[in-house]
Structure 1
Amino acid sequence: MKKQLIIALAISMGAFSFAQKKELRAVEKAIKSSDFAAAKAAATSAEGLLGAMDEKSKAKYYYLLGQALYANGKGSDADVASALENLTKAEGTYGAEITNLKQTISNGLLTKANTAYEKQDYSTASKYFEKSYRVKAKDTVYLYYAAATAVNVQEYDRALVLYDELKSLGYTGIQKQYFATNNETGEEEILDKATRDLYVKAKSHIKPGERMTESKKPEIVKNMALIYVSQGNDDKAIGALQEARAESPNDINLILSEANAHYKMGNIEKFQELLSKATELDPTNPELQYNLGVIAAESDHPVEAKAYYEKAIELDPTYVNAYINISALVLAREEPLITEMNGLGSSKKDDLRYDELREERQNLYREAVPFLSKALEIDTENLSAAKTLMNIYNILGESDKAKGLKAKVEALEGAQ
């Protein structure tokens, strides 16, 4: 009886093994015929036998299931993700085959990413670039592309996560670049080494060379900082901006971004210090001079403020806000005059003083007129300048000019 039992078990195990092989062959056959629906159905049937399979058969099952789900690139995004999970389980046995298949999957995802990018569908492109990276984590450049394209569509939270991952990986993006000059166009072209050498040998290109590309780290840190700024996360923004400036100390935009973050936090002294630094690096930038003027005015230094505004105008004669702000500085001097005028009595001495103050006030208006007129000349739809100028002409008794501006003000208000 004992011998018969052993024989019976042997026959039973042999039948089970045959069933496993039959189901796996069915999956394999369907894949070879590109009938992936049938392959997935056969894989589902074989799944019930998985618990009794040996390691080699299990590896084959996962490898075939991965192929069936990928379906030569026709599988859904969910199927492709599942395919990669199953392929990972078979890597020990089918290492070379899976490496090749993953490369194919990665290339397919890159094709989708590039197609979306060309259509300016940056959100989709970003996600496919990331998926391509996840297939082969060595290709960190695709993670960089994923972050950069996320920024294009203001998906800042996602971009921050990706940039942070790039930082933790120590990504720099530095690569060796091969180049040569095209004889026909006279322009330098970036080529892979083999192609460059071939072209140089064929004498269609000259002056071959190689160089290392610049690091992407400053850009990554800078973008992270600017995202924090846009989100109003000033503390993190300043920390990131300082890190970015350590990478690119003379980047004007970084200095200004940090200056603005300090300004929002009320750190006016630091704001002014950074603006001064930016002005040293870029002395011909009218915007920097204008901003320094604003700070000087807010700090109750009107003489310095006017000098900054005048410098901005010297650098850019069409800088409208500089003209308007100079007129504002001039008109601000009337407040103490009005206060004194309102405090005078009715004596002859007070009447004489009142006339002096009124003349002084009108002289301020006359001083402000050229700046407001120039602003309105440059920006003909500047309602604020038009209204202020109209009121000044009324006070000065220049009724014709005031009447002309009244019509302009009404037209501008009607257009709003």
Structure 2
Amino acid sequence: MKKRLIIALALMVSGFSFAQKDEIKTAEKALKDNNFAEAKSALNAAQSLIGSADEKTQAKYYFLKGQALYANGAGSNADIDAAIESFTKVKKIEADSGKEKYSSEVDEIKTQMLSNFLTKGQTALEQKQYLKSSDHFEKAYRMSLKDTVYLYYAASTAVSAQDYDKSLGLYEELKALGFTGIEMEYTAVNKETNEEENFTNKSMRDIAMKSGDYIKPQDKKSESKASEIMKNIALIYVSKGDNEKAISAIKDARQQDPDDLNLLITEANVHLKLGNRDEFKVLMEEATTKDPDNAELQYNLGVIAAEGGDNEAAKKYYARAIELNPEYADAQNNMAVLILAKDEEIIEKMNALGNSAADNKKYDEYKAARLDLYRDAIPYLEKAYKIKPNVSTAKTLMNIYSAIGDTVKFKEMKAKVEALENGN
């Protein structure tokens, strides 16, 4: 009984094997007729037993499957990804067995696929279809893993498409690969335009030099893209609100490029979001040391100083920002706000006075001090309004003109307030 059972099972397996080979033959014939749907159907029917097939059959199966899924470039994104995987399996199976039958054909197909992906990626980029461009460049990389620059293009175009989840994954992959993007550039200066031009390779540059139309040939390495990649990873985390990871990524990025001022400011702003004001101030002061003539940096330091209650320091920073850029409306306005901040304190003191002669004298002194505050604030408010007219600034000026008794300017500003409120 046992012997008969073994024989029966052997016959069953043999039957499956014949059926499997029939399906593969059907797929092969369908592919010759460019009937990719039928080929896929036949190969799907054979799939369940392919794991137990011999290496030769496996290689043929995956070779045909890759072609069926690719469909001469007409396959879906998912099918094309699966086609690349199938062709990779062919190469591995034949490399492991030492018997190559389909590998050279796979290489030819992959070369065609790579060219197709790159062409489609470039075309989509020119048409500003960034996500499609990213998909094609990523497939080009999966097709040719040695060409990591295609993965870089895929990540960059994903950023342009604002698909930050995808771009983050691709950038993290580039980081893990240690990608720098450094390559040799072959340049020469065009005599007619006096501009430096890049050439695809040294041979093309040498041909141009022989024409006599170019001078000053140079071989130089391109700049590393490592710091850009780290910076983009950090900025994506910032945009996603993942501030802890953003800070970690920014620190990595700054190690790559310690002189990048934008990275320093980004790190400072993330700390500000997290409420780490002391760290923010330290980093911003470091930034002003690196770029002492940056009005925006001085302004930001003024804001944080004011929020921390250090109004004198804030005034110093705002004054420096205005000195560097007199047209900085926000700095002009904030300086006025700081000056007028003392008004409330003076009013409280006035309200606390009695009716004695000494109190009346003190009252007059406080009143004069208030008027001095208004006069100090006026130039900043007038400049802020001139640069950026708005109802809030106009009303403040109107009230101040009224308080100091400047009737002419009060009426002028009142008219402007009414015009702004009416949308004129």
* TM-score (normalised: structure 2): 0.85
Distance 1:15 1:352 in 2: 116
Matches within 5 A, 1:12-411: 27-28=27-28, 31-32=31-32, 34=34, 36=36, 40=40, 54-91=54-91, 92=94, 93=100, 94-191=102-199, 192-380=201-389, 382-411=390-419
User: CA, structure 1 residues 134+359, in 2 after alignment: closer, same or farther (shift >3 Å)?
Assistant: same
Secondary structure of the 1:186 match is: coil
Structure 2 unaligned spans of 5+:
1-13, 95-99
Secondary structure of the 1:203 match is: coil
User: CA, structure 1 residues 204+46, in 2 after alignment: closer, same or farther (shift >3 Å)?
Assistant: farther
Distance 1:51 1:327 in 2: 79
Distance 1:285 1:125 in 2: 37
User: CA, structure 1 residues 41+212, in 2 after alignment: closer, same or farther (shift >3 Å)?
Assistant: same
Distance 1:201 1:254 in 2: 45
User: CA, structure 1 residues 194+351, in 2 after alignment: closer, same or farther (shift >3 Å)?
Assistant: same
Further displaced range: 141-150 or 151-160:
151-160
Q: State the Cα distance separating 1:31 from its structure 2 match.
A: 4.0
Asked if the contact 2:227–2:257 (Cα under 8 Å) also holds between the matched residues in 1, the reply is yes
Asked if the contact 1:179–1:189 (Cα under 8 Å) also holds between the matched residues in 2, the reply is yes
Q: State the Cα distance separating 1:261 from its structure 2 match.
A: 1.5
Distance 1:107 1:39 in 2: 24
Distance 2:192 2:28 in 1: 53
Asked if the contact 1:20–1:53 (Cα under 8 Å) also holds between the matched residues in 2, the reply is no
Amino-acid identity (%): 52
User: CA, structure 1 residues 54+406, in 2 after alignment: closer, same or farther (shift >3 Å)?
Assistant: same
Residue-by-residue CA offset, 1:214-266 (whole Å, 9 max, x unaligned): 11110111111122222232222222212211111111111111111222222
Distance 2:317 2:235 in 1: 27
User: CA, structure 1 residues 80+394, in 2 after alignment: closer, same or farther (shift >3 Å)?
Assistant: same
Further displaced range: 100-109 or 399-408:
399-408
Distance 2:19 2:344 in 1: 100
Asked if the contact 1:172–1:215 (Cα under 8 Å) also holds between the matched residues in 2, the reply is yes
How many residues were matched structurally? Answer: 403
Further displaced range: 25-34 or 199-208:
25-34
Distance 1:213 1:122 in 2: 25
Q: What is the aligned partner in structure 2 of residue 4 from structure 1?
A: none
Q: State the Cα distance separating 1:305 from its structure 2 match.
A: 2.2
User: CA, structure 1 residues 232+134, in 2 after alignment: closer, same or farther (shift >3 Å)?
Assistant: same
Asked if the contact 2:288–2:298 (Cα under 8 Å) also holds between the matched residues in 1, the reply is yes
Asked if the contact 2:231–2:253 (Cα under 8 Å) also holds between the matched residues in 1, the reply is yes
Further displaced range: 19-28 or 166-175:
19-28
Q: State the Cα distance separating 1:153 from its structure 2 match.
A: 2.8
Asked if the contact 2:84–2:142 (Cα under 8 Å) also holds between the matched residues in 1, the reply is no
Further displaced range: 125-134 or 161-170:
125-134
Secondary structure of the 1:415 match is: coil
Secondary structure of the 1:177 match is: strand
Further displaced range: 35-44 or 117-126:
35-44
User: CA, structure 1 residues 46+236, in 2 after alignment: closer, same or farther (shift >3 Å)?
Assistant: closer
Q: What is the aligned partner in structure 2 of residue 415 from structure 1?
A: 423
Distance 2:85 2:239 in 1: 38
Q: State the Cα distance separating 1:44 from its structure 2 match.
A: 6.5
Distance 1:325 1:49 in 2: 76
Distance 2:331 2:51 in 1: 79
Distance 1:376 1:103 in 2: 64
Q: State the Cα distance separating 1:413 from its structure 2 match.
A: 2.9
Structure 2 counterpart of 1:187, which letter? E
Further displaced range: 257-266 or 39-48:
39-48
Structure 1 unaligned spans of 5+:
1-13
Structure 1 counterpart of 2:69, which letter? L
Structure 1 counterpart of 2:270, which letter? A
Q: What is the aligned partner in structure 2 of residue 8 from structure 1?
A: none
Distance 1:245 1:48 in 2: 52
Distance 2:48 2:305 in 1: 79
Structure 2 counterpart of 1:320, which letter? A
Q: State the Cα distance separating 1:50 from its structure 2 match.
A: 6.2
Q: State the Cα distance separating 1:269 from its structure 2 match.
A: 2.2
User: CA, structure 1 residues 330+163, in 2 after alignment: closer, same or farther (shift >3 Å)?
Assistant: same
Structure 2 counterpart of 1:150, which letter? A
Further displaced range: 210-219 or 294-303:
294-303
Distance 1:312 1:224 in 2: 31
